[in-house]
Amino acid sequence: MELVISHLLRCGVLLSAALVILGLALTAATGDTSCPYGVITLDWILGGNPFFAPSHVLFLGFFILIATPILRIAASILMFLKVGDNVFAAITSLVMIILLLSFYLGVG
């Protein structure tokens, strides 16, 4: 279980770092330092216009970095359920609910 979660965290951080480095390289190569105005939405991050603008790549890297621990919690829930540890699955589910609720409400 710990091996799968460590691979998930490692892959998430490496992908995020690669995207941030690519975004910085694109910024240096193109000189495009534009930044979105207003609220940044998930639709803009995943498919903005143009998609390969340096700011899009950077924000996608940061989004993956933020999403990695959330995916770790989701993987933990599934693994606890798989091994039959319902108490830890319930506790981890409560942590996930609190985390998602705080993101939705903008708390913390």
pLDDT at 14: 96
Tokens for 53, please give them: 């603008």
45-104 pLDDT per residue, tens = 777 666 677 888 888 899 899 999 999 999 999 999 999 999 999 999 999 999 999 888
> Cβ neighbours of residue 20 under 8 Å, at least 6 residues apart?
57, 58, 61, 62, 65
Q: For residue range 2-25, what is the model confidence (pLDDT) as tens digits? A: 888 889 899 999 999 999 999 999
Domain edges within the chain: 2-105
pLDDT at 64: 93
Q: Angle formed by the axes of helices 54-83 and 86-105, to 10°?
A: 150
